Structure 1
Amino acid sequence: MDELLADLRAETAELNAMIRELGPADWELPTPAEGWAVRDQISHLAWFDDAATAAATDPDGFRATLPAFLGRGDSAVDELAAASRGLAPDRLHGWFRAARSRSLEAFARLAPGARLPWYGPDMSAASFVTARLMETWAHGQDVADALGLARVPTARLRHVATLGVRAMPYGFAMRGLTPPAEPIRVELAMPDGTTWTAGPAGAPDTVRGTALDFCLLVVQRRHLDDTFLEVRGEGARAWVRVAQAFAGPPGKGRAPLGSGVSQGHTR
């Protein structure tokens, strides 16, 4: 838990560094998420950080809010973003810093195995913190793309990759599909030159490539065609079409950039 919290703080610091000196016009720059500016990415994180604090400190109270929120359907997150667009940039950034600080304090008091409610299945506290790190990294990518910044991949990607693999059945379930019966092997090159793996060695279905490409795919920030991932086997091919490391309804994903940056391929 200490390691997870340290990595979440580091991911938070990287995002704060990106937005600390932004001018008013920068906050309105469009991001790759349709209809969302930089400000919407930050308000989204702040709102759900406050929700995460509620889930950690008052799980029964949080559960009582779920029916109303989930009943709003897929439009809920867009409505939340729209509701915060009147905030001045300094107030918005202040909200994010305060909300993140409150959530970190709440997480630090939890045992790793404590069960917490969320907008998808209940999670252990350790998985919950991992999910907040994943969200921070994913929305930070949207901000970086809007600002034209190239982020340096870090070892923290192992958390996003872990969540992406563990969430494989969820991606299928959210679309009313049955996950593959056969296991899938994932082999990823980490930024430090080591190899991260999941699934049994020798499995015929495989996903191989860089941790960055895999993480961008499972958080739906890049289309498969804009990665160098190598996907083999029917089950693996089905998975990369529905992969989502986040809770809630399936996202729209991203259309291919068409830039020829890289090319994922399947066999």
Structure 2
Amino acid sequence: MDVATAIAGERRELAAMLESLTPAQWDAPTLCAGWRVREVAAHMSLGFRFPLPRMVLELVKARGDINRMADRRARQDAAALSTAELVSAIRDNASHPWKPPVGGITAALGHDVIHGLDITVALGLDRRVPEDRVRLLLEQVTPRTLKFFGADLDGIELRADDLDWSFGSGAVLTGAAQDLLLVTYGRKLPPGRLHGTARAARLSGL
């Protein structure tokens, strides 16, 4: 798969989805704790809007804490930019070469896919990420991924029910592949999206 093409497609599709939202949906909570849709959109476009020197300055202001920096900028930019400007920032930068500090171009695709799902799953929108994009990201899941995103899945096997993929061992937790991908990134999903034994639910915090 051409990852750059997949990223451009994902950003254009997410921009179209965002453009269709109502004002109430823009102010609705997402799977990112404490962030509404507008904060997530602001965060997704930050790397396009801020050149590297500005990003370094913002990190210095946050005393080197990248999470504090991301949260502050998301809140400030969500308040300063209109929804149309946030949509344009994503659509107009579909082919922007931005990448996270680690993980390269595949991590850039993961950033877009996961934050898009943070929005659509929380809003109950039936958007299916194209299977080739989901498969590529699932192939990158490792114990290190789980640790980085704070996903404690010790004693759990994740098993997709819509494609051939599983990860881990123990009590089985099943669901759509894109929902399980969210789990590996430390997200807590709305009730009813995942299925498994009581032990699997308990261990995964569901």
TM-score scaled to structure 2, two decimals? 0.70
Equivalent residues, number = 198
Give 1:230 shift: 6.8
Counting only pairs closer than 5 Å after superposition, residues 35-50 of structure 1 correspond to structure 2 as 35-50=34-49
Kept after mapping to 2: 8 A contact 1:5/1:129: yes
Give 1:74 shift: 3.7
Counting only pairs closer than 5 Å after superposition, residues 108-187 of structure 1 correspond to structure 2 as 118=101, 122-123=102-103, 128-155=104-131, 156-163=133-140, 165-166=141-142, 168-172=143-147
Give the secondary-structure state (helix, strand or coil) at the position aligned to 1:99: coil
How many angstroms apart in 2 are the aligned matches of 1:173 and 1:153?
A: 23
Unaligned runs of 5+ in 1: 55-60, 108-116, 242-255, 257-267
Residue 57 (structure 1) aligns with: none
Give 1:169 shift: 2.3
Give 1:46 shift: 0.1
One-letter identity of the residue aligned with 1:161: L
Residue 174 (structure 2) aligns with: 209
Give 1:216 shift: 2.2
Alpha-carbon RMSD across the aligned residues, in angstroms, is: 4.0
Residue 261 (structure 1) aligns with: none
Residue 82 (structure 2) aligns with: 88
How many angstroms apart in 1 are the aligned matches of 2:5 and 2:184?
A: 23
Kept after mapping to 2: 8 A contact 1:11/1:136: yes
What does the per-residue CA deviation read over 1:62-112, in whole Å, with 9 as the maximum and x for residues that have no partner? Answer: 996696256235422221112111212212211222334323xx78xxxxx
Instruction: Report the identity percentage.
Output: 24
What does the per-residue CA deviation read over 1:118-170, in whole Å, with 9 as the maximum and x for residues that have no partner? Answer: 1xxx43xxxx222222222222123224543122353121123223x23x225
Counterpart check, 1:222 vs 2:179: no
Counterpart check, 1:98 vs 2:92: yes
Give the secondary-structure state (helix, strand or coil) at the position aligned to 1:101: coil
How many angstroms apart in 2 are the aligned matches of 1:229 and 1:159?
A: 25
Residues 171 and 146 (structure 1), Cα distance of their counterparts in 2 relative to 1, 3 Å cut: closer
Kept after mapping to 2: 8 A contact 1:208/1:231: no
One-letter identity of the residue aligned with 2:96: R
Kept after mapping to 1: 8 A contact 2:48/2:93: yes
Give 1:215 shift: 0.8
Residue 250 (structure 1) aligns with: none
Unaligned runs of 5+ in 2: none
Residues 220 and 49 (structure 1), Cα distance of their counterparts in 2 relative to 1, 3 Å cut: farther
Kept after mapping to 2: 8 A contact 1:31/1:142: yes
